[in-house]
Copies of this chain bind each other. A is one copy, B any other.
């Protein structure tokens, strides 16, 4: 097992966090979330995909986690990057590529990744099987810990999606979901950003927004009864 070394600062006295990502070591890579590519995604509705990406952008801003974005050629038919990312994560750094399909083939991109000195890469992108898979495998080969956020990414078929998941596991890339990423970075409600974090749960699980609405109205009704 590829456990975390016992000395990282994110491990609590209880042992909590020993096998989880250290938020202070995380770097988020959002790759090729472009409007033209969105049309080819068939393993998740594009509305859900965009809401998940939006959540990650907001989360990164809230918790001050660095973000790198990239696109092969935003003036081409693949279309522009979804505007939500830089809108909600203004600190994100965009690295243009020179035609490379695999972002890890681009030296500027890898240099930007290495400049942060963080060893835990959280990657999402379109397509999962290409734009996430290739840099994920190469980054792992280079010694990084790598997470692939499956539902903030998209593949052109269910069959390709299942295949990607299997290849990630086989290649030592840890698969995760947007809601799990939120919780793994959130970690505890006993923190100043709690109220803001609470809002984000309604994005990864839309029914939760209604749970909160019901709760607040029930309490209000009890107080005014």
A130 vs B167: C-alpha distance in the bound complex, in angstroms? 20
Chain B residue at minimal CB-CB distance from A179: B156
Q: Which residues of A144-168 are within 8 A (CB) of B?
A: 150-151, 155-157, 159-168
9-residue interface stretch from A36-44, A53-61, A86-94: A36-44
For A106, what are the chain B residues with a Cβ–Cβ distance below 8 Å?
Answer: 14, 16
A68 at the B interface (CB under 8 A): no
User: Is B140's CB under 8 angstroms from A1's CB?
Assistant: yes
For A63, what are the chain B residues with a Cβ–Cβ distance below 8 Å?
Answer: none
| Chain A binding surface, main DSSP class | helix
User: Is B101's CB under 8 angstroms from A183's CB?
Assistant: yes
- A1 contact from B51, B172, B208, Cβ within 8 A: B172
- A102 contact from B16, B151, B164, Cβ within 8 A: B16
Interface residues on A, range: 35 or more
9-residue interface stretch from A23-31, A116-124, A213-221: A213-221
Q: What 0/1 readout, one digit per residue, does chain A (61-103) give for beta carbons within 8 Å of chain B?
A: 0000000000011111111101100000000000000111110
A195 at the B interface (CB under 8 A): no
Q: What 0/1 readout, one digit per residue, does chain A (173-211) give for beta carbons within 8 Å of chain B?
A: 011111110011011111000100000000011111011
For A142, what are the chain B residues with a Cβ–Cβ distance below 8 Å?
Answer: 15, 18
For A186, what are the chain B residues with a Cβ–Cβ distance below 8 Å?
Answer: 101
17 contacts between A and B (CB under 8 A): A1-B140, A16-B104, A20-B102, A20-B138, A39-B208, A39-B211, A40-B208, A43-B159, A72-B189, A79-B211, A80-B217, A102-B183, A163-B180, A165-B166, A166-B169, A169-B170, A219-B221
18 other contacts beyond A15-B104, A83-B213, with CB at 8 A cut-off? A1-B171, A19-B137, A20-B102, A35-B213, A39-B39, A39-B208, A79-B213, A98-B188, A99-B189, A127-B183, A129-B183, A151-B159, A160-B177, A160-B180, A163-B176, A167-B169, A171-B174, A218-B218
